[in-house]
Copies of this chain bind each other. A is one copy, B any other.
């Protein structure tokens, strides 16, 4: 059995109230008493029961984290960041994986929402009106999606796309294809927006190949369309899809980067291991996780005081071996 506050009180010869104060508002008690209480607590290995504390304070000390698919290496990185930062701030993290199912997502938000002080939604799939509802009953922070005034952490996709296009242009490419992610993905739309702007500014032609599942297989599925479209370069919604492209292009005998330049987004670990290694727009995923936690905590501590509840993290093109000089035909 764990020690209770009453036992500590008896051990220290004071009342439970004093113990409570000595631990959570130390300046309110006489230094001598405080010392005695702390010693007693130490001796008994006392740690306050979080459920009991939460019952009266209304705060649980937990935050929830909802991701669409842990199997996509993008998310574990974010989770690691969230996790580490939360631990520093003495919060515990509830994790839920929705398996890319928007309905499950909404359900999970509802049930998890009651057990936590706040929620972090990673690349949420839910519809806008649902999010609007939800964010009234729960404090939430979105990662990788921006919507209304809901607090969010996103990457500077526009600049990322600009860098990618500039790189391709410098290599002499005139036509670039876009392999999109899920139709409902905000970041996919945002990236396409950035891409449109960048290609227009560069005077390049953009071919949009449509929407694909954000997996390796999605990239595989898109590859043949890309080949048929006659472009010399392609940018995929994420690295996993870009690797799928790479795989299928190899099978089809299309040389990368000689015949086709391929760029991904995310910079997952795997992208350094492929042959050729993948040129990619790198996102600092763990940092996004940490930023989301920081934002959430500041929101919790001063519900109305946070002026600008948005963070935009920089992106950085990493040139590896999957991009090269355009074929001159």
Contact = CB atoms under 8 A, between A and B. Distances in A.
A265 to B, nearest CB: 17
Most buried by B among A60, A92, A274: A92
A228 interface: no
Interface in A41-72: 47, 49-52, 54-55, 60, 62, 65, 70-71
A79 B75 CA distance: 12
Contact of A79 (B49, B55, B97): B97
A5 to B, nearest CB: 13
Nearest to A247: B273
A16 to B, nearest CB: 16
Interface string A229-253: 0000000000000011001001000
Interface residues of A, number: 44
B60 A70 contact: no
A97 B80 contact: yes
Contacts of A244: 273
A115 interface: yes
A306 interface: no
Given A2-B114, A50-B115, A51-B60, A269 B71 contact: yes
Most central of A50, A60, A84, A272 by chain B CB within 10 Å: A50
A254 interface: no
A281 to B, nearest CB: 20
A245 to B, nearest CB: 11
Nearest to A116: B92
Contacts of A275: 250, 274-275
Nearest to A107: B87
Nearest to A104: B87
Contacts of A47: 111, 114
A178 interface: no
A244 B185 CA distance: 33
Contact of A76 (B55, B70, B96): B70
Contacts of A115: 50, 92
Contacts of A272: 216
Interface in A259-309: 269-270, 272-275
Contacts of A52: 51, 55
A94 B97 contact: no
A139 interface: no
A272 B274 CA distance: 11
A139 to B, nearest CB: 14
Contacts of A70: 76-77, 79-80, 83
A307 B114 CA distance: 36
The 5 closest A-B pairs by CB, nearest first: A70-B76, A95-B95, A51-B51, A51-B54, A51-B55
Interface of A: 2, 47, 49-52, 54-55, 60, 62, 65, 70-71, 73, 75-77, 79-80, 83-84, 87, 92-97, 99, 111-112, 114-115, 216, 243-244, 247, 250, 269-270, 272-275
14 contacts: A49-B114, A52-B55, A65-B95, A70-B83, A71-B80, A75-B76, A80-B97, A83-B96, A92-B96, A94-B94, A95-B95, A216-B269, A270-B273, A273-B274
